[in-house]
Structure 1
Amino acid sequence: MTITTRVLSLSVPVADQDAALRFYTEVPGCELRTDVEVWPGARMLEVVPPGSSVALVLLPPDSPLPIAIRLGTSDAQQAHDTVREAGATVHNEELVRTEGVPAMFSFTDPDGNGLVYLEDSDLSELR
């Protein structure tokens, strides 16, 4: 059974989010999709390259939001259980549920790369 529905976004570590936003919108011509303070001190900037549905999330390296590849899943709880059973390092004991945001959790692959699963059924709320 496949638990991944699609790649949603990739994090790009940036020193200055405003400067990075100017660069990504003015040089490669990305469109701003999201500019929101998820919680105090956690600003999420998301830009989309022309013709792509996969976004780039511009985050400072010290962001409380994970530098990660964000994947969609049809069932975040099932994905959480599957990843945990596989022995991956899961960073959230339970799904993270925040009003207006899909259920999610973060984990790392065996090489230490950051990954996040977001429940795909709720993604229309982010648009």
Structure 2
Amino acid sequence: MIRGIKFIGIPVSNQDVALKFYTESLGMKVLTDQPFTPTQRWIELTIPGADSGLALFTPPGREDQIGKFQSVSFWCDDVFATADAMKKKGVTFIKEPAAESWGTAAVFKDPDGNQFVLSSKDRKK
């Protein structure tokens, strides 16, 4: 039986730049950082307090996915406050936080241009 998501792969062009962004700007922690292929390391990050994480790795032949919208939505308790804190750490938002009928969300990007949704866990009723 499936019990959850262990990690989501994020395609990146420079693992060192990505690692700095995801740890320093987003507050993730390194679980694994080791050689994997001749050109890449296996970098797995944990999200403090969560059961799932990210892998900063681009499968061979999937380089065309770098800088695209990723189907990943990160949740937080307060989108407005979290976005403000992230901006202070240099994170760029391409859609500012907004309360919608279905919930509150914003869209930010990483150094490669990969785009992610930041939303509240609970939906408005």
Q: What TM-score range do you get, normalising by the shorter chain? A: 0.3 to 0.5
Q: Could you state the TM-score of these two structures normalised by the residue count of structure 1?
A: 0.43
